[in-house]
Amino acid sequence: MHSILILGGTTEARQLAEALRGMNRFGLELSLAGRTKAPVAQPVPVRVGGFGGAEGLADYLKANAFDLLIDATHPYAARISANAAKAAQISGVPLVALRRPGWERQAGDRWTEVESVEASVAALGREPRRAFLALGRQELLPFKAAPQHDYLVRSVDPVEPPLNLPNVRYLTARGPFNEADEQALLAESGIEVIVSKNSGGAASYGKIAAARALALQVIMIKRPVLPEVPSFQTVEALTAHVDQAFPPIQERGE
């Protein structure tokens, strides 16, 4: 039985693990960074926590005799993806990635694209604005440099400790979020601008569609540059690749 380690934390990683489990011929383990306090239940055995960098991951791959490493992490998990590429090189274990395509600008979108979270703070401007921060709780500290704005923060887990800002409100919620609900949230909160990563996928696109409908500005943080490795955009395409790369063993008759 071939063994596969999936670096996860995304909906697609869970779906991929479920699809591969359904083949009944792989030993599977899903690795989570442990940033979410109550992660969604997974269909395969789970490992939580870091590996100690690329070298630690390489040692783990070799010690557990994995035959394949799959990077199915978030598009903005640049450090993990870099460590995965280096670990694969060190260990000799093949690496493939599941990388969902980013959102494309549509007619009516008012996007301001920036390179980083820090740049998004500057893009808000000096005048006070009501901003919806849809970034997750790990990316909020740079906004302390702009206390003049009124912030609405949404995250899966509570922001602890809360930001030391005069005007900030918190929502804890887990997607998917549909366009109608997002429109209602933005309108009721008087939001003037959204700060978002270009995460891609359908689960969090509702706010982008809602911003378009309400003619709101979106400050869109560009994706980081990730290592060039064999990549697939969908769970189905990557599942088919694994199926072909590791065909079932045919039992010989007497």
**pLDDT, tens digit, 9 for 90 and up, residues 40-78:** 788 899 999 999 999 999 999 999 999 999 999 999 999
Both tokens of 198, joined, read 């270009």
Which amino acid makes up residue 35? R
Claim to verify: residue 16 and residue 44 sit in the same structural domain: yes
Nearest to 20 by CA among 31, 10, 30, 33: 30
C-alpha 123/C-alpha 233 separation (Å) is 31
Q: Is the pLDDT assigned to residue 8 strictly greater than 50? A: yes
- 97 and 114 in a single domain? The answer is no
Model confidence at 248: pLDDT above 90:
no
Distances from the Cα of 6 to the Cα of 12, 32, 44, 120, 238, angstroms: 11, 9, 10, 32, 12
Using pLDDT thresholds of 50, 70 and 90, give the confidence band for residue 38. Answer: low
The tally of domains found in the chain comes to 2
User: By residue range, what is the domain housing residue 157?
Assistant: 110-221
Q: For residue 253, name the pLDDT band (cuts at 50, 70, 90).
A: very low
- 124 shares a domain with 68: no
Mean pLDDT of 207-225: 97
Q: For residue 24, give both structure tokens.
A: 């009944």
- Residue 195 · residue 71 · CB < 8 Å: no
pLDDT at 37: 61
Q: Has residue 254 been placed in a domain?
A: no
Identify whether residues 64 and 160 lie together within a single domain: no
Give me the CATH number covering residue 130: 3.40.50.1380
* Predicted local confidence at residue 254, as pLDDT: 41
Paired with 197 in beta bridges are 221
Mean pLDDT for the stretch of residues 189-201: 96
